[in-house]
């Protein structure tokens, strides 16, 4: 059912090289990423905004959500999660 997971996170680093080093450590947790954007965050130049996708092959939605939350917990503990938005 779910083939890819989209990620957006911010890396606190003074240079792009240091941010890339952190991204490599993140990839050790979430798997190989396909980076869509990797730019300095416009509100705070000490942050880099990263948007990427990873492959994720689990059929049941409940197991997918649970496994993604386990990965997120490994990355950090002050995490904000936004669910899908439904507009009528």
**Does any domain span residue 81?**
no
**Does any domain span residue 88?**
no
**Tokens linked to 54:** 């990873």
**CATH code of the domain covering residue 57:** 3.30.70
* Cβ neighbourhood burial of 17 (10 Å; 0-12, 13-18, 19+): exposed
Q: What is the largest CA-CA distance in the chain?
A: 44
Helix (H) or strand (E) holding 35: strand 34-41
Q: Are 63 and 56 in contact (CB under 8 A)?
A: no
Write down the pTM of the prediction.
Answer: 0.76
| Count of the separate structural domains present in the chain | 1
Per-residue pLDDT of the chain (88 residues; tens, 9 = 90+): 668 888 899 999 999 999 999 999 999 998 899 999 999 999 998 999 999 999 888 778 888 888 888 888 888 777 777 777 777 7
Note down the domain range covering 17: 2-75
**Does any domain span residue 85?**
no
């Amino acid at each position: 059912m779910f083939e890819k997971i989209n990620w957006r996170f911010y890396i606190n680093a003074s240079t792009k090289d240091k941010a890339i080093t952190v991204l490599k450590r993140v990839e050790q947790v979430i798997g190989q990423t396909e980076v869509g954007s990797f730019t300095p965050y416009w509100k705070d130049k000490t942050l880099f905004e990263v948007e990427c996708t990873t492959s994720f092959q689990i059929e049941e939605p409940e197991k997918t959500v649970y496994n993604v939350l386990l990965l997120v917990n490994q990355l950090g503990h002050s995490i904000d999660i936004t669910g899908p938005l439904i507009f009528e």
